[in-house]
Amino acid sequence: MRALRIDVPPGERAARVAWARLVEPRDKQALELIERLGAEEALQAVQPEDRLGQRVAPRLETLDVARDVEIARTLGARIVVPGDDEWPAGFASLVDPPLCLWVRGPLELASECERSVSVVGARAATQYGLRQAAEIAAGLVDRRFAVVSGAAYGIDGAAHRGALVAEGSTVAFTAGGIDRPYPRGHDDLFTRLWRDGVVATEVPPGSAPTAVRFISRNRLIATVSQGTVVVEAGLRSGSLNTARTASGYHRSVGALPGSVESPVSAGCHQLIRDGAAMLVTDAAEVAELVGPLGELAPVKRGVVRAGDEHEDAHRAVHAALPVRKAVAVEDLARRCGQSPDEVIAALGVLELSGLARRIPGEGWSKATGSRRR
Amino acid sequence: MRALRIDVPPGERAARVAWARLVEPRDKQALELIERLGAEEALQAVQPEDRLGQRVAPRLETLDVARDVEIARTLGARIVVPGDDEWPAGFASLVDPPLCLWVRGPLELASECERSVSVVGARAATQYGLRQAAEIAAGLVDRRFAVVSGAAYGIDGAAHRGALVAEGSTVAFTAGGIDRPYPRGHDDLFTRLWRDGVVATEVPPGSAPTAVRFISRNRLIATVSQGTVVVEAGLRSGSLNTARTASGYHRSVGALPGSVESPVSAGCHQLIRDGAAMLVTDAAEVAELVGPLGELAPVKRGVVRAGDEHEDAHRAVHAALPVRKAVAVEDLARRCGQSPDEVIAALGVLELSGLARRIPGEGWSKATGSRRR
């Protein structure tokens, strides 16, 4: 059998750049061949007759590795391949890892992702969702997590901005080429990310962010971090795909609840109902979910009310005490269905706690803040 | 040892009415004695020296079974004891069942509770919570469930009213005597319940609804029905107590999510996080949670978009098709990273689904609703 003639500069790195141009992300046959032979040798093993060859052939005429490398250089971007220090460790678990990454921005991708949370959600988010995304992102920054997202409108943008405002690290994985910031309405966000964060993509320069590439991109967001939080998502949101991928790869998944009357909370509620996500209400609970043992969120408590620490019997006595007058122990016993001895014991505890007061010659009353003289 | 002298009319029913007057709900020693000897004989076995005797003694002077029975009769209420047809089956599982019940209203308590859901929550509810409580109650009525609650302000009242408006059955368990409707602001609601529903309490006429009695009452709401839904609850709400009791007695528990910024959804979120409650978003999901197998809530789906049923490869081809012009198969193959054969296969499926259109001599384009002539 005769192989396709594929001309590329020598070396694994150049070969991977070529592969990224020749096939779409998650091309099973290409990945198998590369896994078996290495990227460089795999290029020489593509048969024109088989399905991979037929897929590759139409793209051969547009292949120009030197140009793809040059575009990256012009943008101040770098090309990262497996084995590089900057290759994120999380991708090791992927059955279909990226062939290479185009990376732009001052942050070191791998080390930022080592302690990171993906914060994702609907484009058509509500004010509630946008506010919470920014707040959770800022809270994660406070806890030294980098915030990973997809730079889309809505929740993604709010998450990146929340992290940037908190002067933390943020990482964007995009579905189009490194030279095609998308959406255009996020030009300002991309400018911030290029300056203070980092943007990465697995598709070569010039690639349009198509629907299928968004789905492919989601697996990177899902696996590069220790966990994913869905802030708002409709029932068919791509964020659910990210969440289920994260769950499938044994990453922690959280979902923010919201009004059952809000369609963009319906996806979050479905994830929680399915057991695919843990309900989370703030950054502390997200950190607890994704963090190593010991990062426990503070247990939420309401305001402690007078007498709450006492057992029911004591509470009954406290409740039966009048505020403005005093009553005898026997009266209290009758009201509470307790014996006089039990009432006296309770009154003793309540008096110690400053909740009951004995008025000599009269009986007992509730102790209020203001003292009677 | 000499027993206390307790004069009551003969029979178990009268003895239970006496016990309800002499001890508070959940009096362990009284319940043990009654369990062992029966209510009537237990009355004669109370020793003045022991703790039960000392608790009972202060109340002996106010004991008047004939009067308690007469008050019930005057109100049109009936007294129900274990063994009566109207005694709810759910109480059989209680370690501390009521001694007897005062019951008022036309509905038969036991048969209504046989297929019922408790809908409970905060007094200080939001408009969201009130609306949802009423809607869930009405939805449960549509599914032939009775709605059990506690007649309190807020969620309880909205649940009863939702059931009444839907012309369904509703059952209130109150913490005070049958002659003391509480709160007074619910006089109109009680009038409706006495006329079209049923109200029950385990404490004798004249009893004030104290904090401890509310807690005791909660176990009745928790166990009389097949399941409990918490619609809104703060972190220290009594509804959480009801929910955890229901869970402890192996009843189904659901909780409605809400904004994480709403303090009265915090208790619901905590129940869900703890695994004590299932997240539920509507009556169908509540019915699924508490109902016998087979009452499955419809799976929620978003709007189906063109091409969604096709696999990714087909979606990629569909996405690459232009709307206003036509492209050749080879172009599509290059764009999608697929072989021409794969693209042709995808186009065939898309054409069959009415999503792609071949223009002879030109190529392929997206099929839109409007036909080009």
Of B279, B285, B337, the CB nearest to A23: B337
**Do B300 and A333 lie within an 8 Å CB cutoff?**
no
CA distance A211 to chain B (A): 7
Query: Measured between alpha carbons, how far is residue B321 from residues A22, A135, B365 in Å?
Result: 20, 40, 5
**Do A308 and B236 lie within an 8 Å CB cutoff?**
yes
Output the pLDDT for position B310. Answer: 53
Residue of B nearest to A342 (CA): B55
Contact list, B279 vs chain A (CB under 8 Å): 257, 269, 272-273, 279
- Measured in degrees and rounded to the nearest 5, phi and psi for residue B170 equal -145, 145
Q: How far apart are CA A357 and CA B70, in angstroms?
A: 39
Substitution target from B273, B282, B329, B343 for chain A, most A beta carbons within 10 A: B273
Query: Reduced to 3 states, what is the DSSP secondary structure of residue A335?
Result: helix
Residue of A nearest to B208 (CA): A335
Residue of B nearest to A311 (CA): B212
Substitution target from A270, A338, A341, A344 for chain B, most B beta carbons within 10 A: A338
DSSP result, A116-128: EEEEE--SS--HH
Beta-carbon contacts of A280 under 8 Å, excluding residues fewer than 6 positions away, are A229, A254, A255, A256, A286, A289
Percent with pLDDT over 70 in chain B: 93
**pLDDT one-digit tens code per residue, A52-88:** 999 999 999 889 999 999 999 999 999 999 999 999 9
Beta-carbon contacts of B138 under 8 Å, excluding residues fewer than 6 positions away, are B162, B163, B165, B166, B168, B283
Q: Is the peptide bond before B183 cis (omega within 30 degrees of 0)?
A: yes
**Do B211 and A265 lie within an 8 Å CB cutoff?**
no
Token pair for A127: 């004010």
Substitution target from A55, A217, A286, A310 for chain B, most B beta carbons within 10 A: A55
For residue A123, which of A200, A182, A171, A203 has the smallest C-alpha distance?
A182
User: Among the listed ranges B39-53, B58-72, B349-363, which one has the minimum average pLDDT value?
Assistant: B349-363
Vertex B253: Cα angle to B251 and B255 (nearest 5) = 170
Residue of B nearest to A136 (CA): B260
The full 3-state SS of chain B, as one line of letters, equals CCCCCCCCCCCHHHHHHHHHHHCCCCCHHHHHHHHHHCHHHHHHCCCCCCHHHHHHHHHHCCCCHHHHHHHHHHHCCEEECCCCCCCCHHHHHCCCCCCCEEEECCCCHHHHHCCEEEEECCCCCCHHHHHHHHHHHHHHHHCCCEEEECCCCCHHHHHHHHHHHCCCCEEEECCCCCCCCCCHHHHHHHHHHHHHCEEEECCCCCCCCCHHHHHHHHHHHHHHCCEEEECCCCCCCHHHHHHHHHHHCCCEEEECCCCCCCHHHHHHHHHHHHCCCEECCCHHHHHHHHCCCCCCCCCCCCCCCCCCCCCHHHHHHHHHCCCCCCECHHHHHHHHCCCHHHHHHHHHHHHHCCCEEEECCCEEEECCCCCCC
Output the pLDDT for position B305. Answer: 47
**pLDDT one-digit tens code per residue, B166-201:** 999 999 999 999 999 999 999 999 999 999 999 999
Q: How far apart are CA B281 and CA A269, in angstroms?
A: 8
Q: How many CB pairs under 8 A join A and B?
A: 158
Substitution target from A273, A280, A366 for chain B, most B beta carbons within 10 A: A273
**Do A300 and B57 lie within an 8 Å CB cutoff?**
no
Q: How far apart are CA A122 and CA A233, in angstroms?
A: 5
Query: Reduced to 3 states, what is the DSSP secondary structure of residue A329?
Result: helix
**Do A215 and B330 lie within an 8 Å CB cutoff?**
no
Q: How far apart are CA B181 and CA B189, in angstroms?
A: 10
Contact list, B312 vs chain A (CB under 8 Å): 212, 215
Query: Reduced to 3 states, what is the DSSP secondary structure of residue A201?
Result: strand
Please state the pTM of the whole predicted model. Answer: 0.83
**Do B23 and A261 lie within an 8 Å CB cutoff?**
no
- A173, with CB counted inside 10 A (0-12, 13-18, 19+), is buried
Of A57, A265, A319, the CB nearest to B211: A319
Q: How far apart are CA A335 and CA A326, in angstroms?
A: 14
Beta-carbon contacts of B79 under 8 Å, excluding residues fewer than 6 positions away, are B13, B17, B69, B72, B100, B101, B102, B103
Q: Is the peptide bond before B340 cis (omega within 30 degrees of 0)?
A: no
Contact list, A316 vs chain B (CB under 8 Å): 24, 210-212
**pLDDT one-digit tens code per residue, A344-361:** 888 888 887 788 888 888
Contact list, B345 vs chain A (CB under 8 Å): none
**Do A62 and B301 lie within an 8 Å CB cutoff?**
no
Average predicted confidence (pLDDT) for chain B: 91
Tell me the Ramachandran region of residue A144: left when phi exceeds 0, alpha when psi lies from -120 to 50, beta otherwise. Answer: left
Q: Is the pLDDT of residue B309 over 50?
A: no
Contact list, B55 vs chain A (CB under 8 Å): 333, 337-339, 342
Pair type for strands B252-255 and B227-230: parallel
Query: Measured between alpha carbons, how far is residue B295 from residues B18, B116, B284, B285, B290 in Å?
Result: 44, 14, 8, 9, 9
Q: Which residues pair with A199 in a beta bridge?
A: A104, A172
**Do A337 and B55 lie within an 8 Å CB cutoff?**
yes
CA distance B276 to chain A (A): 13
Output the pLDDT for position B370. Answer: 40
**Do A279 and B273 lie within an 8 Å CB cutoff?**
yes
Q: How far apart are CA A110 and CA A115, in angstroms?
A: 9
Query: Measured between alpha carbons, how far is residue A125 from residues A119, A244, A293, B44, B266 in Å?
Result: 13, 20, 32, 69, 22
Q: How far apart are CA B16 and CA A259, in angstroms?
A: 46
Output the pLDDT for position B295. Answer: 61
**Residue ranges in chain A modelled with pLDDT below 50:** 293-294, 303-309, 370-373
More confident residue, B239 or A296: B239
Of B59, B128, B236, the CB nearest to A337: B59
Mean pLDDT of B206-219: 95
Output the pLDDT for position B142. Answer: 96
Output the pLDDT for position B1. Answer: 54
Mean pLDDT of B352-359: 83
Token pair for A71: 């575009």
Of B22, B278, B319, the CB nearest to A211: B319
DSSP result, A135-185: HHHHHHHHTT-EEEE---TTHHHHHHHHHHHTT--EEEE-SS-TT--SSGG
* Residue A46 and residue A71 in contact, taking contact as beta carbons nearer than 8 Å: no
Contact list, B255 vs chain A (CB under 8 Å): none
CA distance B108 to chain A (A): 30
Q: Name residue, tokens 């065939």.
A: B348
Output the pLDDT for position A311. Answer: 65
Residue A321 identity: L
Token pair for A64: 């120009």
Output the pLDDT for position A358. Answer: 86
Of B23, B312, B339, the CB nearest to A55: B339
Q: Name residue, tokens 């509703």.
A: B170
Output the pLDDT for position B348. Answer: 83
**Do A257 and B270 lie within an 8 Å CB cutoff?**
no
Q: How far apart are CA B340 and CA A217, in angstroms?
A: 24
**pLDDT one-digit tens code per residue, B269-284:** 999 999 999 999 999 9
Substitution target from B59, B259, B274, B344 for chain A, most A beta carbons within 10 A: B259
Mean pLDDT of B111-131: 97
Residue of A nearest to B316 (CA): A212
Substitution target from B132, B213, B339 for chain A, most A beta carbons within 10 A: B339
Q: How far apart are CA A332 and CA A349, in angstroms?
A: 15
CA distance B187 to chain A (A): 24
Q: How far apart are CA A177 and CA A75, in angstroms?
A: 11
**Do A333 and B58 lie within an 8 Å CB cutoff?**
yes
